[in-house]
Chain A
Amino acid sequence: MTVKTMTAAINEAIDQEMGRDDRVFVAGEDVRVGGPFGTEAGLHAKYGDKRIVNTAISELALTGIGVGAAAVGLRPIIEIMIMDFVSVAMDQIVNQMAKMKYMLGGQARLPIVVTTHAGIDSSSAAQHSGSLEAWFCHVPGLKVVMPSNAYDAKGLLTAAIQDDNPVIYISNKRCMQTSSEVPDESYALPLGVADVKRVGSDVTVVAIGRLVLDALTAAEELAKEGINLEVIDPRTLSPMDTTTIVKSVQKTNRAVVAHEAVRNCGIGAEIAATIADEAFDFLDAPVKRVGAPFTPVPFAPLLEKQYLPGAQDIVAAVRSLYH
């Protein structure tokens, strides 16, 4: 075990999988110099141009490298620098990668990981701050992973690379700067399994990405008021481990769902609907959703701060369950 940033943990997972399986390679913009956040730092020196493929600024074709190369037997990792840029690659992801296996009656097998970096980080404005995970959760054929800490990040990325399906692997930019204990050796955490980050009895908070950390902060504050939060991190958003969530709500009888993405039609809505479907009789209060307002992300730091959902929003949502 060593304390590592989430960025370093991601780097280690890529490195170890590349070392283990020579069909694994990375393609992306400026990955030669380590990628925009350093997740490929040092890998070009180790694996060279052949397996750290520094592409042109062409997200559609870059993603096509993934689809085509996977179709002929490789295991590509495709890096889209910033999550907002996935829009440029969307046809390859949604119409090709996600559906190919099904449309061809099961013939194709596409072990691709699309890695990308999401969320707000110091005034990057409307086209560099998006949390767009819900777009992909709406597409059958894709798996969607969104870790909140270094330990999960490494294990989930290892599993994603080993998975035979296309996986969209989303790192929240502010989570990437956080550190935790991470084993040096390789390990995989199963996709589709949630993790209970804090055991509690009063309110279930299902939080995603950075909001997991905020939920834990909120839990400390609310504990002082005698409200004991259970914090669940689904980690994989599609397929979602609804069993863990529903079981928790059956125990606590109250639920709040929280993410950085826009609240409207966010993944939180899906989770809230699932709770309503499967645990309606256990609920003592409506399920509350915490998310960003329905606007693009503003540039000005004050507006950005106002926009960004955080611990205080979770605290307020929890308190509202008791009124």
Chain B
Amino acid sequence: MSTQISNDTLIDMHRRMVRIRLFEETAGKMMEDGKIPGALHLYVGEEAVAGGVMVHLSDEDQITSTHRGHGHLIAKGGEFDQMFAELYGRSTGYCKGKGGSMHISNMELGILGANGIVGGGPPIAMGAAFGNKFLKNNKVAVCFFGDGASNEGSFHEAANMAGLYKLPVVFVCENNGFGEYTPQANHQAIVDVADRAAGYGMPGVIVDGMDAVAVYEAAGEAVDRARSGKGPTLLECKTYRFFDHVGVRGMGLTYRSDEEVERWKKRDPILLMEERLLEQKVLSAEQIKAVHDITSEEVLAGIKFAEESPFPDPSSLTEDVYA
């Protein structure tokens, strides 16, 4: 099946994933340095999910994101300048500095919010899909959520109605094995979140979330199914976050072993993708390096933009509460 993927698509996915990785690593550093206020939930390790799903979506399609939302925004076309500016709390940020990391979104790219509430997204994505069907606009909504969030009632209520009304929505569970510091085995009795699909009359698909191509293929089917009016899919991507729940520390944590982290890192999604690009002679090592170099420059430019941007005007405090 992988032969069906064009070289351009592979290159596109790779670029999106590298953009996420380099943005996140620098954002983490800036948080550690005290330049970015608040808490950052970083997406490093999970890039193949956002990358593999988002290449199927246009700016017109919607997504709902989570507290771990930078990767979704980047993969959907978010610009580093406005993103860093938001994390820095500057007026030039996507949310004028009012949202910060947990709410970073650009609605022009179809992002209906990152979210500080676990399980806040599924009802919104379902509702967006309801609106799309109502408007017959041929758009699809994709809901990203974690294994932890799959235990919130909001997910179950949204999935039920999505199944009932055959809504054009894809529920993408990013199963990274933990809800904060609680391993999956201690928060749900099932191993595969995809099992839950059966209860809501939709297919449940499990995919290797470290393999962007596998995600790409499964997401393609799910998005097509949604767009063609056949209804929702629950797509579970088995993945792993390389860093702690918050911040950049990855190793020496009490709730998971370093060996486990090392095991997953051997299957680093960007590494896997680059092996494939080389093997299939899609890109040369130099070309891959160039992608990293160009992205690094963009990261630096984004930081510079943020640091030179003005702070929000005090008068903006009371703006944007009502229409």
Q: Contacts of A60 on B, CB cut-off 8 Å?
A: 153
Assess whether A293 is in contact with B151, with CB atoms less than 8 Å apart: no
Cβ 8 A contact of B116, one of A29, A128, A303: A128
Assess whether B89 is in contact with A300, with CB atoms less than 8 Å apart: yes
Assess whether A57 is in contact with B119, with CB atoms less than 8 Å apart: yes
Q: Cβ of B103 < 8 Å from any Cβ of A? A: yes
**How many Å lie between the Cα of A128 and that of B115 in the bound state?**
11
Given contacts A56-B187, A300-B97, contact A123 B149 (CB under 8 A): no
Measured CB to CB, the closest approach of chain A to B109, in angstroms, equals: 20
**How many Å lie between the Cα of A298 and that of B89 in the bound state?**
9
Q: Contacts of A124 on B, CB cut-off 8 Å?
A: 38-39
Residues 111-145 of A, flagged 1 when their CB comes within 8 A of B and 0 if not, give 00000000000111111100000000000000000
Cβ 8 A contact of A125, one of B100, B154, B180, B321: B100
**Chain A contacts with B in 205-233, Cβ cutoff 8 A:** none
**Chain B contacts with A in 266-323, Cβ cutoff 8 A:** 311-312, 314, 316-318, 321
**How many Å lie between the Cα of A55 and that of B186 in the bound state?**
8
For the complex with contacts A57-B152, A122-B37, 17 further pairs of A-B residues with Cβ separation under 8 Å are A30-B182, A54-B186, A55-B187, A88-B117, A125-B99, A125-B100, A127-B115, A127-B120, A293-B318, A299-B100, A300-B89, A300-B98, A300-B312, A302-B89, A302-B311, A303-B89, A306-B317
Q: Cβ of A48 < 8 Å from any Cβ of B? A: no
Most buried by B among A124, A293, A298: A298
- Describe A's contact surface by its main secondary structure: loop
B residues touching A (Cβ–Cβ < 8 Å)? Answer: 37-39, 89-90, 95, 97-100, 102-103, 115-120, 148-149, 151-154, 179-182, 186-188, 254-255, 311-312, 314, 316-318, 321
Given contacts A128-B102, A295-B321, A301-B37, contact A56 B148 (CB under 8 A): yes
Assess whether A125 is in contact with B316, with CB atoms less than 8 Å apart: no
**How many Å lie between the Cα of A218 and that of B152 in the bound state?**
44
**How many Å lie between the Cα of A241 and that of B247 in the bound state?**
44
A residues touching B (Cβ–Cβ < 8 Å)? Answer: 29-30, 32-33, 54-61, 84-85, 87-88, 122-128, 293-296, 298-303, 306-307
Q: Contacts of A296 on B, CB cut-off 8 Å?
A: 321
Cβ 8 A contact of A294, one of B37, B38, B154, B321: B321
A-B contact pairs, 27 of them (CB 8 A): A30-B181, A54-B186, A56-B182, A56-B188, A57-B118, A57-B149, A57-B151, A57-B180, A60-B153, A85-B117, A88-B117, A88-B154, A124-B38, A126-B98, A126-B99, A126-B103, A126-B116, A127-B116, A127-B117, A128-B116, A298-B97, A299-B98, A300-B97, A302-B89, A302-B311, A303-B97, A306-B314
Measured CB to CB, the closest approach of chain B to A65, in angstroms, equals: 13
Most buried by B among A55, A87, A128, A307: A128
